[in-house]
Structure formats: structure tokens, C-alpha cells
């Protein structure tokens, strides 16, 4: 669970524009419900492993949190199978390294916490929209009978493209392989049903240390507050943003536009203008976005996701990620489009490039 900055009326660096936060896939503003839940447990004191009344109250808070998270997963997972960890990276490492399988297959567009977990993992290719190639996975599974784990994310953090995980799970079962699914980016934005996804649950006793009670309580409160209906509105904002881009810049590219995507994510290329220049220029106008995944201490490098999709290096290098959330507004979209369009015309962005199908 992480906290970020909120949208709102604070003045930008030049003192003339409000801040617009459009980097929700990196970290999201803390929900008020999470603040309330975390404040309540911080105001008390109790170790969930202690048997006295404070300890029992803390234990009950953790168990209620398991129930909230299980409900977010569609109710098909028993709360007792929920294991709280520090975040997505630890969860992925726990699953991939702890599975004990001789062979690991990961899609080419996985988060680095998956790609870097197993040094000799084999890669499952994706198509030009960033969707995992099921026929290639079938061939990879068929060629080697060793015990295997398959890892394919539910939705990509850079493009928002949603993967056919039910079909991936079916292929894994066909060959007796385990299936692991990183669903971090999809949680709360689209309906989650662990049974439909086909991924297995985690076992108890896999993680040492006292439970992070404030983090667990805050996470559960945020999970309970999420509503798919909110993201129906967000999808409308995302579509409005992309329509504005298409109108202002016919050669701009929306990555993965031909695939099913998360309702809040747009990966947008401005041909001829480096992503880092766009990020800085937009920030000077009070608009905060990222250049691809924001997980490398501010480093901007080539996107392995876009490379796997076959995007030309120059075009990939000109791609930014815009990600919205539950408090994003029409004013945020207008602010972004004004700043992005001004930069586009200022930098001569109407030369070269292509539109995505």
C-alpha cells in the first residue's frame, strides 16, 4: 500500500496552473477510508500474535482485512488463503522462487519483479498489441516435460493491455504446470474473480515477521472502497483524452489500442519528442505523468514491454504513460491536453510517426 500526491488546487511551479496527477499506475493517492483505518490502528497498540486483549483486537483486524481482500477477488478464495506481504515485488518473488519448479516461463511484458526473479526463465512472446501468444506458450509447454511454472500478468502496467489469463491457466493445467498471475495493476479497476483467472492460492506460514497492521488495515479499507462503477467513469475520461490526442495529433500513437485494456491507462507516443523531454515539459506545466514504468529510481530507459510488442525503438523512446484514478476529473484531462498539445506544436511533433490500428 503506497501513498501519493492528490489532484487539486495547489499552484504549479510557475504559479499559474493547478497540479494534475496522472501517474496512478506508479502510486495512487491514499483513499480517505485507508487513512481512517490506518489512523485507528496506529492510535492503539497490539501485536496480532499476542494473546492479551490488545493482541486479540489486532488479530481480529487482520482477519477482517483478509475477508475484505478475499471479497475483492470475487469470493472464490477463502480468506485463510490470503497472505499479506510488503507489496507486489515480494509477492511475485515469493511465488516464483518458492514454487520450486525446475522450469519457469514468463511473458515478455512482465513487471521487472517477475522478469528478474528467476535468472534462467524462458520468455513467452506477445503480439503487436502486447497480448501473450497462446500458440507460442502451447509450444513451449509441449517441448519440455519438466515441472513448470507459467507467469502471465492480468494487465500490463505500461499499456493497460489485459491478458487472456483464463486461456493461459487452461494451457498450464493441460501440461500439469503451475500458473502464477500478477494482478496488481488490475485490482480495483476491473472485476477480479480468482476462480475465473485460474491462478492458485498461497499457503500459510510462508512469510516471517510481525504483521504490518496499519498497512494491512489501510489496504483492506482501500480494497473495500474500490468500485468498478467508478472506473466506468474513468474509462470515459481516458477515451476523451485519447480522442483529444487523435484530434490534435493525427500521427500520435496509442499503444495497444487494438486490444482490451484497463480503463485508466494510455501509453501515448509523440513521434520525434523523447519521453523524458515530454515528462519534464509537462511537469513544468503542472502535469505529472511517467515515461513507461516508474520503478527504477527515476531512470528512463528503453521499455521492454514496447520492445516485445515490436514497436520501433525511436517510437518507443517517445512514449509516455498516462494513468488515471478514482479522483481524476474532466479538468485533469483538459489540463493534460492543453499542455500536451502545446508541446506537440512547439516541438514540431506533426512530422513523421504513425497511428495505431
pLDDT of residue 204: 53
Which of 19-28, 56-65, 128-137 shows the highest mean pLDDT? Answer: 128-137
- Quick one: 111 and 165 in the same domain? yes
- pLDDT value at 118 more than 60: yes
- pLDDT value at 2 more than 90: no
Mean pLDDT, rounded, for 171-191: 92
d(CA 66, CA 219): 10
Catalytic residue among 17, 45, 181, 295: 295
Containing structural domain, residue 51:
31-84+211-226
Q: pLDDT tier at 87 (50, 70, 90 boundaries)? A: confident
**Total domains present in the chain:** 3
Active site annotation includes 45: no
- Quick one: 106 and 178 in the same domain? yes
Quick check: is 330 in a domain?
A: yes
Percent of the chain with pLDDT over 70: 87
Kindly tell me the sign of the dihedral angle through the C-alpha atoms of 231, 236, 240, 245.
positive
> Cα separations (Å) of 344 from 16, 24, 99, 257, 302?
20, 23, 48, 20, 21
pLDDT of residue 293: 59
Express each pLDDT in 233-289 by its tens digit: 999 999 999 999 999 999 999 999 999 999 999 999 999 999 999 999 999 999 999
Mean pLDDT, rounded, for 192-208: 67
- Quick one: 188 and 220 in the same domain? no
**Strand ranges in the chain using DSSP code E only, listed in sequence order:** 20-21, 103-107, 122-124, 148-151, 178-180, 253-254, 265-269, 287-288, 319-323
> Cα separations (Å) of 192 from 147, 155, 228, 247?
28, 11, 10, 34
Predicted TM-score (pTM) of the model is 0.82
- pLDDT value at 34 more than 60: yes
What does the mean pLDDT of the chain come to?
A: 87
Percent of the chain with pLDDT over 90: 62
- Quick one: 75 and 93 in the same domain? no
- Quick one: 80 and 110 in the same domain? no
Tell which wins on pLDDT, 321 or 210. 321
- Quick one: 190 and 90 in the same domain? yes
Q: pLDDT tier at 297 (50, 70, 90 boundaries)? A: very low
- Quick one: 141 and 71 in the same domain? no
- pLDDT value at 194 more than 90: no
Mean pLDDT, rounded, for 8-15: 43
d(CA 25, CA 305): 15
Cell of 78: 477463502
Amino acid at each position: 500500500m503506497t501513498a501519493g500526491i492528490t489532484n487539486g488546487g495547489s499552484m504549479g511551479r510557475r504559479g499559474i496552473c493547478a497540479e494534475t496527477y496522472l501517474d496512478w499506475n506508479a502510486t495512487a493517492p491514499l483513499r480517505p477510508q485507508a487513512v481512517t483505518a490506518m489512523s485507528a490502528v496506529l492510535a492503539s497498540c497490539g501485536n496480532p500474535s499476542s494473546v492479551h486483549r490488545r493482541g486479540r483486537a489486532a488479530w481480529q483486524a487482520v482477519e477482517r482485512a483478509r475477508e475484505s481482500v478475499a471479497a475483492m477477488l470475487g469470493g472464490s478464495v477463502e480468506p485463510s488463503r490470503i497472505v499479506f506481504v510488503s507489496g507486489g515485488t515480494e509477492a511475485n518473488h515469493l511465488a516464483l522462487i518458492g514454487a520450486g519448479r525446475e522450469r519457469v516461463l514468463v511473458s515478455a511484458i512482465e513487471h521487472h519483479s517477475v522478469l528478474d526473479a528467476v535468472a534462467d526463465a524462458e520468455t513467452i512472446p506477445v503480439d503487436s498489441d502486447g497480448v501473450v501468444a497462446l500458440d507460442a506458450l502451447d509450444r513451449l509447454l509441449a517441448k519440455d516435460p519438466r515441472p513448470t511454472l507459467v507467469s502471465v500478468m492480468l494487465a500490463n502496467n505500461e499499456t493497460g493491455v489485459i491478458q487472456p489469463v483464463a486461456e493461459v491457466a487452461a494451457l498450464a493445467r493441460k501440461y500439469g504446470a503451475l500458473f502464477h498471475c500478477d494482478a496488481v495493476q488490475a485490482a480495483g479497476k476491473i472485476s477480479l474473480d480468482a476462480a475465473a483467472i485460474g491462478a492458485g492460492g498461497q499457503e500459510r506460514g510462508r512469510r516471517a515477521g510481525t504483521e504490518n497492521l496499519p498497512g494491512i488495515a489501510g489496504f483492506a479499507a482501500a480494497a473495500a472502497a474500490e468500485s468498478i462503477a467508478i472506473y466506468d467513469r474513468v474509462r470515459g475520461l481516458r477515451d476523451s483524452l485519447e480522442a483529444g490526442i487523435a484530434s490534435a495529433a493525427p500521427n500520435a500513437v496509442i499503444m495497444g489500442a487494438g486490444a482490451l485494456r484497463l480503463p485508466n491507462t494510455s501509453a501515448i507516443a509523440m513521434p520525434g519528442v523523447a519521453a523524458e523531454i515530454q515528462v519534464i515539459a509537462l511537469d513544468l506545466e503542472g502535469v505529472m505523468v511517467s515515461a513507461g514504468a516508474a520503478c527504477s529510481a527515476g531512470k528512463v530507459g528503453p521499455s521492454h514491454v514496447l520492445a516485445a510488442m515490436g514497436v520501433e525503438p525511436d517510437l518507443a523512446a517517445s512514449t509516455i504513460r498516462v494513468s488515471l484514478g478514482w479522483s481524476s476529473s474532466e479538468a485533469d484531462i483538459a489540463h493534460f491536453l492543453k499542455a500536451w498539445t502545446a508541446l506537440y506544436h512547439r516541438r514540431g511533433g506533426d512530422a513523421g510517426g504513425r497511428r495505431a490500428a
